[in-house]
């Protein structure tokens, strides 16, 4: 590995930025390439075979052009499906993003946990297996949201989204007796990397307070462990952002904080 590792962070759109910002904070020594496959967004609306056929060869192209030391699939909809295919096809280490069901169920006091993800993620066998293996006796409610990822993209791109639109996607997560704090959902897994972009709104619109579980800090720790300690003095390296649609992004002031203040090429 070179002194400055290159970390490629991949999502269907802007949601993976919520993972990127944690990885950037954990690895200031790295060079970052963020890839948004916006030409194929939203992944949640595509079938399983379509996503595998899209992501596996696309990743091969980006490995060829950027030679990353590590790739983060910052997308639950893709990770729950393509990680095994990617690992079989390429020797680069991959870190995925999958629903944080185990920690959520471990910490829930009311034993009622909801998993808010795309329609694709909540349907996956991978997600069902996580529940079988790690629910630890909790009642787990799967909520497949058709529009929340698109609403988060719109909001970040400067097109305000109404409270009603967000609440319609969120409401099914809240299960049990609203009047009884011991008999209702107390933990919601954010099983789509777009949703932390809306965390302030989700918190404000929630019918009652819950803990929101975002796996991004754990992913950043895993990336750092795999790369090992920085081998050089930390001089902040650059960052690149690629949209597969080739659109020219005019979002730099909004995006810069996710890159830890780096100039984004």
Buried b (16+ CB within 10 A) or exposed e, 123-150: bbebbeebbeebbeebebbbbbbebbbb
Distance CA 262, CA 256 (A): 6
Nearer to ligand DGL, 29 or 173 (CB): 173
173 among known catalytic residues: no
CA angle 34, 166, 140 (to 5 degrees): 85
CA angle 7, 10, 11 (to 5 degrees): 155
Distance CA 184, CA 265 (A): 46
Q: Which two tokens stand for residue 173?
A: 């997560």
Distance CA 140, CA 213 (A): 14
| Identified binder of ligand DGL from the candidate list 7, 9, 10, 15, rule CB under 6 A | 15
- Provide, rounded to whole angstroms, the least separation between the CB of residue 187 and ligand DGL: 18
In what side-by-side order are the strands of the sheet with 94-95?
94-95, 70-73, 6-11, 31-36, 239-243
Alpha helix ranges (H) inside the chain: 17-26, 48-66, 76-89, 101-107, 119-123, 125-134, 148-156, 163-170, 199-205, 216-227, 252-255
- Provide, rounded to whole angstroms, the least separation between the CB of residue 43 and ligand DGL: 4
Question: By rule CB under 6 A, what count of residues binds ligand DGL?
Answer: 17
- Provide, rounded to whole angstroms, the least separation between the CB of residue 41 and ligand DGL: 5
Q: 50-79: which residues touch ligand DGL (CB under 6 A)?
A: 75-77
Contact flag: residue 190 with ligand DGL (CB under 6 A): no
Contact flag: residue 11 with ligand DGL (CB under 6 A): yes
| Identified binder of ligand DGL from the candidate list 21, 31, 54, 194, rule CB under 6 A | 194
Binding mask 245-264 for ligand DGL (x = CB under 6 A): --------------------
105 among known catalytic residues: no
- Active-site residue, from 75, 105, 138, 173: 75
Nearer to ligand DGL, 76 or 187 (CB): 76
Contact flag: residue 121 with ligand DGL (CB under 6 A): yes
Q: Annotated active-site positions, please? A: 75, 192
List residues near ligand DGL by CB under 6 A: 11-13, 15, 41-44, 75-77, 118, 121, 149, 192-194
């Amino acid at each position: 590995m070179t002194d400055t590792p290159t970390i490629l962070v991949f999502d269907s759109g802007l949601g993976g930025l919520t993972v990127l910002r944690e990885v950037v904070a954990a690895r200031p020594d790295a060079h970052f390439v963020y890839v948004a496959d916006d030409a194929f967004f939203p992944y949640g609306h595509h079938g399983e075979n379509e996503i595998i056929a899209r992501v596996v060869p696309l990743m091969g192209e980006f490995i060829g052009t950027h030679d990353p030391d590590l790739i983060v699939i910052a997308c639950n909809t893709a990770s729950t499906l393509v990680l095994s295919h990617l690992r079989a096809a390429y020797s680069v280490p991959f870190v995925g993003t999958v629903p944080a069901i185990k920690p959520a169920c471990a910490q829930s006091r009311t034993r009622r946990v909801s998993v808010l993800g795309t329609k694709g993620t909540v349907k996956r066998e991978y997600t069902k297996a996580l529940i079988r293996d790690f629910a630890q006796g909790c009642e787990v409610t799967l909520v497949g949201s058709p529009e929340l990822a698109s609403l988060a993209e719109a909001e970040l791109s400067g097109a305000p989204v109404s409270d009603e639109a967000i609440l319609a996607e969120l409401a099914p997560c809240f299960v049990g007796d609203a009047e009884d704090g011991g008999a209702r959902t107390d933990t919601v897994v954010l099983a789509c990397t777009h949703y932390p972009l809306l965390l302030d709104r989700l918190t404000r619109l929630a019918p009652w307070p819950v803990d929101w579980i975002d796996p991004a800090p754990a992913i950043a720790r895993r990336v750092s462990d795999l790369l090992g300690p920085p081998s050089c003095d930390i001089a902040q390296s650059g960052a690149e952002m690629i949209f597969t649609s080739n659109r020219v992004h005019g979002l730099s002031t909004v995006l810069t904080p996710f890159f830890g203040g780096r100039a984004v090429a």
